[in-house]
């Protein structure tokens, strides 16, 4: 059995590669910052010197990178994934990037006898570690069935949503709801606090109410104590909102609350919170209302 290729071993990619190793699959992996791959090498992963080397000899190649520019960097060129992708291979692209860029790479892969699937995921680091990711897949059904056993090592819910590019469009549509919910949650907490209710009590009451989504239940407590390692940074969330707003412009779809959330994430970046978890949107709202924020890294104490 040929090894699996894996390109992009960051917060999500490293955990997915770890799950594949734990399931007994051989993995050859590449990451631009090579030290981040060291723990995986200790678990048996073979270190590849380039995206091309990670793809070489593999029947299935995974990629999970930061944005569209990073995908182009690892996908194209003499050392890119396409250069190492062999005929008959399947490239499973799991990043949140431009649907248009995904389709363009798919056409290039098809031209050399390979297939590309867009397979973005719903869930965070803890979800990966538990093997409970939800995975949306766009592309050929036959290619999906070939890689299904590997995807099942990452999560039990695998949903085919249409042709190549459809899955990432679905992921973008889902992701915009996150910061919109966080913004509404921040406003609720701040209003309750200003009315004399302790912040902790307000958070507990909201998270026990019918208004609490699963996402708010695990991220809402961050307004009390931000995580040491951000689950999804302000910058990364704003990248996703940028993709949503771009797609909305193409399709003439109004996204007014998404636009407002995007502006507040811009304010968070301006306050030095770009590397914080995106729950730092609370700091912006709190600062505007004259209240104390939660950020530890930035030195902000109220967000403004």
What distance in Å separates the CA atoms of residue 15 and residue 8, rounded to the nearest whole number? 11
Active site residues: 171
In the chain, count H helices and then E strands: 15, 9
Domain ranges of the chain: 4-162, 176-288
pLDDT digits (tens, 9 = 90+) for 122-145: 888 888 999 999 999 999 999 999
Radius of gyration, CA atoms only, the chain = 20
Low-confidence spans in the chain with pLDDT less than 70: 295-304
pLDDT digits (tens, 9 = 90+) for 44-102: 999 999 999 999 999 999 999 999 999 999 999 999 999 999 999 999 999 999 999 99
pLDDT at residue 297 in the model: 45
Strands (E), the chain: 4-7, 27-30, 46-47, 60-63, 90-93, 115-118, 121-122, 134-138, 157-162
pLDDT at residue 298 in the model: 40
State the angle between helix axes of 234-251 and 177-194 in degrees (0 to 180), rounded to the nearest 10. Answer: 120
Residues β-bridged to residue 5: 28, 61
Residue 92 corresponds to which tokens in the numbers above? 């499973």
Report yes or no: 17 and 39 within 8 Å, Cβ to Cβ.
no
Helix (H) or strand (E) holding 189: helix 177-194
CATH topology (fold) of 176-288: 1.10.1040
Model pTM score: 0.85
What distance in Å separates the CA atoms of residue 290 and residue 282, rounded to the nearest whole number? 12
pLDDT at residue 304 in the model: 28
Fill in the DSSP letter of residue 34. G
CATH topology (fold) of 4-162: Rossmann fold (3.40.50)
């Amino acid at each position: 059995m040929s090894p699996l290729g894996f390109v992009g071993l960051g917060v999500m990619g490293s955990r997915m590669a770890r799950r594949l190793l734990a399931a007994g699959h051989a993995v050859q992996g590449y990451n631009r910052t090579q030290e981040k791959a060291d723990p995986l090498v200790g678990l048996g992963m073979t270190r590849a010197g380039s995206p091309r080397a990670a793809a070489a000899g593999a029947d299935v190649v995974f990629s999970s990178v930061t944005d569209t520019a990073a995908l182009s960097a690892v996908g194209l060129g003499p050392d890119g994934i396409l250069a190492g992708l062999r005929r008959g291979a399947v490239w499973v692209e799991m990043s949140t990037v431009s649907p248009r860029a995904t389709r363009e790479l798919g056409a290039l892969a098809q031209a050399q006898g390979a297939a590309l699937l867009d397979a973005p995921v719903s869930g965070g680091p803890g979800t990966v570690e538990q093997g409970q990711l939800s995975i949306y897949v766009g592309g050929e059904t036959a290619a999906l069935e070939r890689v299904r056993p590997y995807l099942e090592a990452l999560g039990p819910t695998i949903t085919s949503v249409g042709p190549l590019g459809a899955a990432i469009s679905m992921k973008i549509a889902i992701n915009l709801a996150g910061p919109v919910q966080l913004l509404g949650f921040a406003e609720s907490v701040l209003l309750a606090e200003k009315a004399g209710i302790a912040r902790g009590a307000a958070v507990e009451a909201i998270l026990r109410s019918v208004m609490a989504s699963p996402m708010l239940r695990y991220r809402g407590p961050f307004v009390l104590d931000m995580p040491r390692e951000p689950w999804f940074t302000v910058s990364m969330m704003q990248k996703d909102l940028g993709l949503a707003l771009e797609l909305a412009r193409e399709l003439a779809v109004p996204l007014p609350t998404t636009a407002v959330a995007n502006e507040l994430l811009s304010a968070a970046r301006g306050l030095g919170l770009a590397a914080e978890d995106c729950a730092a949107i609370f700091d912006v709202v709190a600062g505007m209302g004259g209240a104390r924020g939660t950020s530890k890294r930035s030195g902000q104490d109220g967000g403004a």
